[in-house]
Amino acid sequence: MNTLNQHKLYLLGSDEKISELSNKESAVILAVSDSHGRPEILKTILKEFGPKADALVFCGDGIEDLNKILNEDFIPSVVALVHGNGDESTMKLIVNKAYDIYSEIKVPAAVNFNAAGTNILVTHGHMFGVYYGTAGLENHAKETGASLVFYGHSHIADISEQSGFTFINPGSCSLPRQGLPPSFAVIKTAGSKRPECTFYEIKVSLSEGFKFVPFSPALRHW
């Protein structure tokens, strides 16, 4: 990414790139969550999909995993990250490990930003009762003016629409639940149009390493 400075909106990225993201005709967002101590999985996902994305959304529970790779050149130029119930609310961002240079940044419980005219809310979900549905998320989205909401916490990949809001959980990239595979999501936004979301299953084999295969979480729910 161009800069690791923290913006006033708590985003990581330069003012220029954040403004460009807002003004694009369409934007590609890579959404990942709940890595829980598996930075190698995050790195593999980002190496493959990061260069193609306009923004990275990380929905918490693995902030230190992400921190280990944030200075890599495959990270998108805008990053929206929030802390989960297993994360700290601040972290020492690694600027130059060789010279022991760090920059302390705040990791909020929720963050709002705009991508291609779409107002977006990102949060982990543990403070909004996501185990019991999206009503809490919907109320907060109304307060912030967001129409697209990213969340994690449940470790269950899912997309739902209600009352004009779209809720996307990319699932856990390391510890999925309900028989679902490890996963993440790639989303295309364009103003008031319905977001286009593709979920990717993470497969691992000794011969081929990591493979990413599109799948429908709706077909895997019990």
How do residues 9-31 score in pLDDT, each as one tens digit?
A: 899 999 999 999 999 999 999 99
Q: Residues 6 or more apart from 139 whose CB is under 8 A from it? A: none
Q: pLDDT per residue over 195-211, tens digit each? A: 999 999 999 887 778 89
Question: Which pLDDT value is given to residue 153?
Answer: 97
Question: Per-residue DSSP letters for 19-39?
Answer: HHHHH-SSEEEEEE---SS-H
- pLDDT at residue 203, rounded to an integer: 94
Q: Which residues pair with 29 in a beta bridge?
A: 55, 187
Closest CA to 107 of 93, 86, 89: 89
pLDDT at 3: 52
- For residues 39 and 78, give the distance between their C-alpha atoms in angstroms, rounded to a whole number: 19
Measuring CA to CA, how many Å separate 9 from each of 133, 157, 176, 217? 27, 27, 30, 32
If you count them, how many residues does the chain have? 222
d(CA 219, CA 222): 9
**Distance from C-alpha of 60 to C-alpha of 56, rounded to nearest angstrom:** 12
Q: Which residues of the chain have pLDDT under 70?
A: 1-4, 94-101, 218-222
Q: Which helix (DSSP H) or strand (DSSP E) does residue 64 occupy?
A: helix 63-67
Residue 150 pLDDT? 98
Q: What are phi and psi of 122, to 5 degrees?
A: -125, 130
